[in-house]
Chains A and B, each alone.
Chain A
Amino acid sequence: MDIPRGNILIGASDPKFEPILYLDGVSVSFDGFRALNNLSFYVEPGELRAIIGPNGAGKTTMMDVITGKTRPDTGTVLFKGSIDLTKSDETEIANLGVGRKFQKPTIFEHHTVFENLELALAGDRSVFASLFFKIDADKLARIETVLQIIALASLREEIAGSLSHGQKQWLEIGMLLIQDPELLLVDEPAAGMTDAETAQTSDMLKEIARDHSVVVVEHDMEFVKSLESKVTVLHEGSVLAEGSLKTVKNNPTVIEVYLGR
């Protein structure tokens, strides 16, 4: 497959640096409103990337495009260098290895913590495999590991709906983790959390980023700072600036449209 290479892809000819996620010239309009306007950026394998931007900058629409919920009007979205995500639907994209955490924690409220993780566990998702599914020691061990990481081991038999807001966020991060996608998209993981929970969430994400590529959309600057990652600033549906948090914070355009207000 012929991969279109824009000028942002410096050094991308080396296969080792083939981006895990590559967006080029993506535009989406809703009733004349341009939610995404010629958006281009890429994420390297194993990278932790923070995406910030004021309300209406197109952060959630970008997530929707990558996960197949919204089809772009124009543009290219490539996963692992060659898989065209604009041709697939949500289920296919999830099975290709792209996981998504929503802004509002969406876990399965009537299932226990354990069952939530079991449902997310990587494996055969077909109807008949589910009908005759039997959990084995391997899978139990994986769920156990994740329960430890998300600090919910003692609550495994609790109904997920009874968890606190922060615990629900962690459970959803745990579900993403056990789904074992190569790329994780995380939408505002620290929204509505206490300071202590926020710090713990940041540690979790950094831990996850050790062997996954993670894209975090966030409002909270303190949280973004704690991630110590490269930052992309979105504004009116396209990239305004990119670099370390310090660099973008000192960028005069960024100060004008976002930080200065």
Chain B
Amino acid sequence: MEHRGILLPFLLKAPMGGRIMLAVLAILGVAVPILNLAVPVESAFHVPTYVVALVGKYLCFALLAISVDLIWGYCGILSLGHGAFFALGGYAMGMYLMRQIGDRGVYKHPELPDFMVFLNWKELPWYWTGFDIFPFAMLMVVLVPGLLALLFGFFAFRSRVTGVYLSIITQAMTFALLLAFFRNDMGFGGNNGLTDFKELLGFNLQEGTTRAALFTASAVALAGGYLVALFIVRSKLGRVLVAIRDAESRTRFLGYRVEYYKLFVFVISAMMAGVAGALYVPQVGIINPGEFAPANSIEIVVWVALGGRGTLHGAAFGAVLVNFAKTYLTGAAPDFWLFFLGALFVFVTIFLPKGISGLLSRTPGSLPDLSRLKGILAKLTPKGAL
């Protein structure tokens, strides 16, 4: 075997869906900034800035979906609190962006963010230290979610909490954080969260070039996250994860430390979610405790289920698809969105246990399997109508 370069042979072994996704990301990452910045506004090919921000947001959600698929699809850990890790990554980025405002806030305080001046605080709380340094803040983007996942996972997995009980405590975790971050004296801006960001690394966040760069960064992060996840699931560790998913106690009797394996993949997944949150915040311009809402975390699971769990690229596709539908429906029929989401989850659970990617292709590269779709149509159609 030749070992010239590691990445290329690895990419060639990626499943068809994954290769398509990487190709689309490469094209989007280059083309969208050009079409946004270099093509004149009058042109039909011009991509408006709001679309850049919107698709950039979808890419962050796609990365978040991959992080959930990594633990749910491959290891059977159904986290209903993954939004918490996303939000923590977002808050770490938000804190950096707040410090970047400097004395340009409403109260013109040289150091304290506006909400602290408003609360009559005299100095920066200790846990805000260092967040004015970009590398430190970026380290916190992965470290804080990773550390929480490590602590939470250590106790949960050691006590062999599995299945629906684990899902419930992950919900409790994100709900507890929601309540905590709502409190003003936590020092994270309370109800309003962190907003009014001005600059990132000295670049104006309202500037088209900055937005385009953030978009490309999101595409790169998504591709990178996908490749990391793919490397994990393709390794023997990945096969141990699936073994744990399918027969946990058997894996234990084979001599594997099941809790360490779960902990490893749970922490990696949380870090990935943190990165997604950190890229999301500057693109939407705000982070508030709403991101910790338990419903958000459930929504992520719907994306993954719809796209097809245990495929990685399917999860990313599901995230983009559902969020596109959300953008459309919350505009066209705002009252209808939550019903739609609920109905979608029921539909996918009953009729598409393998999600859309399971419907389209059973084995990589094979022709789409439409027999299942026909079966579904037959079930849905009243007898005699066809």
Contacts and interface: CB of A to CB of B under 8 A. Distances in A.
Contacts of B239: 111, 115, 118-119
Contacts of A106: 247, 249-250
A131 B252 contact: no
A130 B250 contact: no
B232 A131 contact: yes
Interface string A75-118: 00000000000000011001100011010001111110001001
Which of A69, A108, A118 has the most C-beta atoms of chain B within 10 angstroms of its own C-beta?
A108
Contact of A108 (B232, B246, B264): B246
Contacts of A109: 246-247
Contacts of A30: none
A90 B236 contact: no
B273 interface: no
A125 B256 contact: yes
Nearest to B258: A91
Contacts of B247: 106-109
Contact of B237 (A91, A115, A133): A133
Given A131-B232, A133-B235, A133-B236, A108 B253 contact: no
A190 B254 CA distance: 21
A125 B251 CA distance: 11
Given A131-B237, A133-B237, A125 B253 contact: no
A108 B242 contact: yes
B235 A119 contact: no
B242 A130 contact: no
A102 B252 CA distance: 13
Contacts of A209: none
B255 A130 contact: no
A120 interface: yes
B240 interface: yes
Residue of B236, B246, B249, B253 contacting most chain A CB atoms (<10 Å)? B253
B252 A110 contact: no
Nearest to A97: B255
A107 B250 CA distance: 8
**Range class of the A interface residue count:** 20 to 34
A232 interface: no
B328 interface: no
A130 B236 contact: yes
B236 A118 contact: yes
A91 B239 CA distance: 18
Contact of A100 (B242, B251, B253, B257): B253
B150 to A, nearest CB: 13
Contacts of B258: 91
Given A115-B239, A131-B235, A125 B255 contact: yes
Nearest to B263: A127
B255 A94 contact: yes
Most buried by A among B237, B255, B257: B255
Contact of A94 (B232, B236, B243, B252): B252
A91 B254 CA distance: 7
Interface residues of B, number: 23
Interface in A143-175: 175
A125 B239 CA distance: 12
B255 A91 contact: yes
Contacts of A110: 242, 246
A254 B208 CA distance: 88
Contacts of A107: 247, 250
Given A106-B247, A108-B247, A131-B237, A94 B261 contact: no
B50 interface: no
Contacts of B249: 69, 90, 106
A67 interface: yes
B239 to A, nearest CB: 6
Nearest to B264: A127
A130 B240 contact: yes
Contacts of A91: 252, 255-258
Contacts of A175: 254
Interface string B258-273: 1011001000000000
Contact of B261 (A90, A111, A118, A127): A127
B258 to A, nearest CB: 7
Interface string A33-70: 00000000000000000000000000000000001010
Contacts of A95: 255
Interface centre among A106, A110, A127, by most B CB within 10 Å?
A127
Select the residue from A106, A130, A132 with max chain B CB neighbours within 10 A: A130
Contacts of B240: 119, 130
A260 B56 CA distance: 76
A131 B228 CA distance: 11
11 contacts: A67-B253, A94-B252, A95-B255, A108-B250, A119-B239, A125-B254, A125-B255, A130-B236, A133-B235, A133-B236, A179-B255
Given A90-B249, A91-B252, A119-B254, 20 more contacts: A91-B255, A91-B258, A94-B252, A94-B254, A94-B255, A108-B246, A108-B247, A109-B247, A110-B246, A111-B239, A111-B243, A118-B239, A119-B251, A125-B254, A125-B255, A126-B257, A127-B260, A127-B261, A131-B232, A131-B236
The 10 closest A-B pairs by CB, nearest first: A94-B255, A133-B236, A130-B237, A131-B237, A95-B255, A106-B250, A90-B252, A130-B236, A108-B243, A127-B264
Interface of B: 232, 235-237, 239-240, 242-243, 246-247, 249-258, 260-261, 264
Interface of A: 67, 69, 90-91, 94-95, 99-100, 102, 106-111, 115, 118-120, 125-127, 130-133, 175, 179
